[in-house]
Amino acid sequence: MKSTAKIAKEYSGTSALVDTTEESVRSNRIIGAAMEVHRQLGPGLLESGYERALAYELTLHDIPFERQKPSDAVT
């Protein structure tokens, strides 16, 4: 399969552009994991509950991550 930035794909009878870059594929996997957490847990939990669940989901899908990584504040 050719690794191009965008390819045309047939979807519901219309042609749509689909981003197939490595960055896009990685982003889609992360968003999919987050959507699954929300689908299973729904709204209303504290942030810490979602954080633990997302960490679990990312681990299940072999997606590397770091929890609560400190960063420099921009002023």
pLDDT in tens, 14-54: 555 666 788 889 999 999 999 999 999 999 999 999 999 99
Location of structure tokens 């219309």: 14
- Stronger pLDDT, 59 or 2, i.e. the higher one: 59
Whether 12 is in a domain gets the answer no
The secondary structure element, H or E, covering residue 52 is: helix 47-60
**Sign of the torsion formed by the C-alpha atoms of 9, 11, 17 and 22:** negative
Establish if 5 belongs to a structural domain.
no
Residue 29 lies in a domain: yes
Write out the residue range of the structural domain in which residue 50 sits.
22-64
Residue 74: per-residue pLDDT: 80
Q: What are phi and psi of 47, to 5 degrees?
A: -55, -40
Number of domains observed in the structure of the chain: 1
71 falls within a domain:
no
Decide if 27 is inside a domain: yes
54 belongs to a structural domain: yes
Among the residue ranges 1-5, 38-42, 54-58, the one predicted with the least confidence is 1-5
